[in-house]
Amino acid sequence: MEHERLITGENLIAEKKIRTEEYDYIKVQLNEISNMESIGWEISKKSKATARLKKKKIIPQDEQFENKVWLLFYRLGFTILNKGRNFKLTYSTNGNELTQQIDVFAADDESILIVECKSSEKLDKKTNFKTEIEAIGGKRGGLIQAVRKLFPNKNLKVGFIFATNNYAISPPDKARMAELKIIHFDEDTIKYYNELLNHIGLAARYQLLGNIFAGQKIPEMNNLVPAIQGEMGNHTYYSFSIEPDKLLKLGFVLHHDNANKDEMPAYQRIIKKGRLKAIQEFVNNGGFFPNSIIINIATKKQLQFDKSDLQAENSISKLGILHLPQEYKSVYIIDGQHRLYGYSDSEWKDKNTIPVVAFVNLKLTEQIQLFMDINENQKAVPKNLRTTLEANLLWDAKDLNEQRKAISSRIAQRLGEDKNSSLYNRIVTGENSATPYCAITLDYISKSLKATNFYNTYKNNAVTKDGTFDRADNYVTFNFLYEFLLKMFNKLSCLVENDWDISTNDDRCIVANTFVYGYIRIFSDIIDFLIKTQSINPKTLKIDDLVEYCSPYIDTVAYKIEDLTSAERVTLRKQYGRVGDNKFWRILQQTLHDKFADFNPEGLEEYWRDNSMKFNEEAFKLIRDIELFIKEKVIDTLKGKYGENWLRFGCPKSVYDSVQKLTSDKNYNKKDGEPDALPQDQLHLIDYREIMLHSSNWSEFFEKLFADPTVKGDRKKRTEWLCKLNEIRNQNFHTYSVKEDEYNLLKEIASWLLLR
């Protein structure tokens, strides 16, 4: 090597060992062991005269991050990397010779990557990198010349990467990097490529090069393929066969992962290792796939297609030679990523061809819709990913209410992926799995936003109600509402910071679906209250001023949250459905009402009237009396008619089968000494209704006893009271509060039923 600090071959293996080694080692005499153990060394290996001792390395976190980045490029197959942390490049600028220290330098036969690393021990939302980014931009030309001098006989592409760990990169910094053609890697990106390596091996390099050199020419690539041009669904498409090796270089897969959060639409599921391995073995054993890979060719130029002189007469399809773009990331794989990557490590990748159907410049929504349609009857698209994709499809929907759904989903996703958000990594996005720490679903946030007054509501696309934050434009509304929610959540999290980062494994957790539903609803209530009492206009105020108006109310909410006991938090978190959602939200409303008397949202008084549980005890007694009355009358009547065969002859077969099974199961599983289960004890209220309506039972026995005298109609309508009774009966009386109208219904039923 021309530079002593660049290494290759076996030296890379040695450097990898240094960067992954967790311990320092020394060799000592046996009589020195005791002293060394007293200062933290421990025995690794011992012989007759000496001992090898080891001690855990103390590695600064910035060095750990540099090692992680270096090891990523080593795993990706780059053949030349820097040794240690002191690699420097000498370059010229304005006639001056300068030296630049490089954190990570990686090269192969096609490219050179220069990486600057920055790492923070804790998440840093304030630091900006204007100086560092502009410095890289200023040195870019000189550094490119310097590295090309190191490899004078190769025409290598040079890419610059700014890698960060635990930093929230600001929009201005992102814009600077884009302008200066610097690629940003954060910890999510590094995790993504490492996971991709675990799944597809060195084929992950194609994703990396596509990302870094998007739009740049692939050197010495033959881009001509025989093809058929056709028409399908108002789109021109091309059908052709191509060597997998070529398509791997051109292709890019938008995996829905935090690493691709700024790529829209990121619709593909992450590659499955087991499935890929099976495909690779199949291909290596001579197997092949006759079905086509579906792609979208993204090109700014007119795609060249040289039609052949030989054509089929009267055919819409045309024969010719297609000129594929010779650029990285010019082809998006819509369907068939596993089949394509199955060839990545195969000897057949440049010896076989695979069939391809290629569309050109499909709109983002068209790509998503095609992906969804293809997968509809194959492996199901996960619900969370489907929610995200459908939101993108709805972004330009004709129905303006549908567009609001799209805004909500995008807000939910951004809150979970934005490092500036206090909900960062707390929301399950894409195909990521839920964990005790990341337990909030996109659906829940979307549902919460739908229930607020933030958006306009429409009927036949005419506004029926103005939304407090709706600007009648998707992008403007999204940006405005997102910034408000971001700052409100951040403010709340600061006020309760001791509890905010706790996962659902801990009883003190206050960041879960039901809690977030309550937070979003109360944010909307506060805005409504401020509009009413202080005549503010959220659409004309700056977000910071708006949050300041909300501060006294958020302070009060925070005090209430901190006062909740662990037991109360667990109960609130585990109450599912509408009851659980509303409970925490109404508690927050009541807290604000107690502090600010004028704060009295619609429905608050009725909610506590209906949820005080004051009717529960009496309601339970009424249900018990009604149920015992029904059981006694129905069974006695049937026994009087059919004797011991009452169950068989007096009940519908569905009820008979169900009761027999329940009775059998209970008797089979009973403990010694327990009495036998009886069929009559396995009947439920709905079963009794079925029995009443069965055959001639109604007219012969039960109409006079059980027909609701307040209802007119047939026997089904006059027994609907049993369905309502059953709904109340099936509630958990430990957590459910019987409403006043339900209690009144029970009293009414008892008044006409029990007195007959």
When mean pLDDT is compared over 71-85, 87-101, 231-245, the highest value belongs to 71-85
The pLDDT, as a whole number, for residue 424 is 93
Each residue of 508-524: pLDDT tens digit? Answer: 999 999 999 999 999 99
The pLDDT, as a whole number, for residue 670 is 87
The pLDDT, as a whole number, for residue 129 is 95
What span, in angstroms and rounded, lies between the C-alpha atoms of 327 and 218?
5
Residue 664 has pLDDT above 80, yes or no: yes
Q: Region 385-398: what's the mean pLDDT?
A: 68
Residue 359 forms beta bridges with which residues?
A: 237, 296
The pLDDT, as a whole number, for residue 257 is 47
Q: Region 550-578: what's the mean pLDDT?
A: 91
Q: How confident is the model at residue 278 (pLDDT cuts 50, 70, 90)?
A: low
Three-class secondary structure of residue 43 per DSSP? strand
DSSP letters, 161-183, are EEEEEEE---HHHHHHHHHTTEE
Q: How confident is the model at residue 275 (pLDDT cuts 50, 70, 90)?
A: low
SS (H, E, C) 301-369: CCCCEEECCCCCCCCCCEEEEEECCCECCCEEEEECHHHHHCCCCCCCCCCCCEEEEEEECCCHHHHHH
Q: How confident is the model at residue 387 (pLDDT cuts 50, 70, 90)?
A: low
Each residue of 534-551: pLDDT tens digit? Answer: 999 999 999 999 999 999
Residue 268 has pLDDT above 80, yes or no: no
Least confident of 197-206, 279-288, 455-464, 599-608: 279-288
Q: How confident is the model at residue 344 (pLDDT cuts 50, 70, 90)?
A: low
The pLDDT, as a whole number, for residue 755 is 79
The pLDDT, as a whole number, for residue 208 is 86
Give the closest residue to 402 by CA, choosing from 332, 455, 358, 331. 455
The pLDDT, as a whole number, for residue 431 is 62
Q: How confident is the model at residue 193 (pLDDT cuts 50, 70, 90)?
A: confident
Q: What's the CA angle centered on 208, arms 204 and 209, to 5 degrees?
A: 115
Q: How confident is the model at residue 165 (pLDDT cuts 50, 70, 90)?
A: very high
384: Cα separation from own chain's centroid: 6
As given in the structure block, the two tokens for residue 716 are 């089904």
Q: Read off the DSSP letter of residue 248.
A: H
Question: Do the Cβ atoms of 272 and 199 come closer than 8 Å?
Answer: yes
Q: Tell whether the torsion through CA atoms of 610, 615, 617 and 623 is positive or negative.
A: negative
CA dist list (Å): 497 to 439, 454, 485, 500, 570: 18, 27, 17, 5, 19
Residue 100 has pLDDT above 80, yes or no: yes
Q: What are phi and psi of 255, to 5 degrees?
A: -75, 135
Q: Read off the DSSP letter of residue 66.
A: H
Helix extents (H) in 418-510: 442-450, 474-495, 497-500
Q: Region 259-272: what's the mean pLDDT?
A: 47
What span, in angstroms and rounded, lies between the C-alpha atoms of 738 and 40?
65
Rama region for 713: left / alpha / beta (φ>0; ψ in -120 to 50; rest):
left
The pLDDT, as a whole number, for residue 520 is 98
The pLDDT, as a whole number, for residue 260 is 43
Which residues have C-beta within 8 Å of that of residue 477, sequence separation ≥ 6?
407, 455, 469, 470, 471
The pLDDT, as a whole number, for residue 491 is 96
Q: How confident is the model at residue 131 (pLDDT cuts 50, 70, 90)?
A: very high
As given in the structure block, the two tokens for residue 751 are 């008044």
Report which of residues 392 and 382 the model is more confident about: 392
Report which of residues 428 and 551 the model is more confident about: 551
Residue 584 has pLDDT above 80, yes or no: yes
Q: Read off the DSSP letter of residue 398.
A: S
Q: How confident is the model at residue 371 (pLDDT cuts 50, 70, 90)?
A: low
The class that CATH gives domain 61-185 is alpha beta
Report which of residues 376 and 184 the model is more confident about: 184
The pLDDT, as a whole number, for residue 375 is 62
- The mean of the pLDDT values for the chain is 87
DSSP letters, 264-304, are TT--BPPPPHHHHHHHHHHHHTT----SPEEEEE--SSPPP
The pLDDT, as a whole number, for residue 265 is 47
What span, in angstroms and rounded, lies between the C-alpha atoms of 459 and 47?
86
Least confident of 246-255, 445-454, 575-584: 246-255
Half-sphere exposure of 194 (CA within 13 A, CB side): 12
**Proportion of the chain above pLDDT 90, given as a percent:** 53
The pLDDT, as a whole number, for residue 204 is 80
What span, in angstroms and rounded, lies between the C-alpha atoms of 91 and 100?
8
| Domain ranges across the chain | 61-185, 218-379, 385-610, 616-753
SS (H, E, C) 580-629: HHHHHHHHHHHHHHHHCCCCCCCCHHHHHHHCCCCCHHHHHHHHHHHHHH
When mean pLDDT is compared over 67-81, 603-617, 737-751, the highest value belongs to 67-81
Give the closest residue to 159 by CA, choosing from 206, 90, 209. 209
Q: Region 588-596: what's the mean pLDDT?
A: 95
Each residue of 200-242: pLDDT tens digit? Answer: 777 788 778 888 888 788 767 788 999 999 988 788 899 999 8
CA dist list (Å): 613 to 320, 594, 740, 742, 746: 77, 21, 10, 12, 15
Question: Burial code of 481-498, b = ≥16 C-beta within 10 A, e = fewer?
Answer: bbbbbbbbbbbbbebbee
Q: How confident is the model at residue 429 (pLDDT cuts 50, 70, 90)?
A: confident
The pLDDT, as a whole number, for residue 267 is 43
Report which of residues 46 and 162 the model is more confident about: 162
Residue 7 has pLDDT above 50, yes or no: yes
Q: How confident is the model at residue 745 (pLDDT cuts 50, 70, 90)?
A: very high
Question: Do the Cβ atoms of 531 and 537 come closer than 8 Å?
Answer: yes
Residue 683 has pLDDT above 60, yes or no: yes
CA dist list (Å): 267 to 134, 213, 389, 705, 734: 33, 21, 7, 61, 44
The pLDDT, as a whole number, for residue 383 is 62
